């Protein structure tokens, strides 16, 4: 997936995929992360 030039808000879940993991994936695809957040959605 090519995300060059796109801005991303990464919303992660504590018990699922955490925000920092999402950030690493989208950065490798060329996106700019503007906000990263990990929370518990219970």
Segment 6-38, tens digit of pLDDT: 999 999 999 999 999 999 999 999 999 999 999
Could you tell me if residue 31 is inside a domain?
Answer: yes
pTM: 0.81
> What pLDDT sits at residue 26?
96
3-state class of 27 per DSSP? helix
Domain presence at residue 24 = yes
> Which residue range forms the structural domain that includes residue 14?
7-39
CA-angle at 33, arms to 28 and 38, nearest 5°: 105
- Asked whether the predicted pLDDT for residue 1 surpasses 90, the reply is no
Q: How confident is the model at residue 2 (pLDDT cuts 50, 70, 90)?
A: confident
In a domain, 1, yes or no: no
């Amino acid at each position: 997936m090519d995300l060059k030039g796109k801005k991303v808000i990464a919303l992660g879940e504590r018990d699922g995929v955490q925000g920092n993991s999402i950030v690493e994936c989208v950065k490798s695809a060329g996106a700019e992360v503007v906000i990263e957040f990990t929370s518990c959605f219970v």
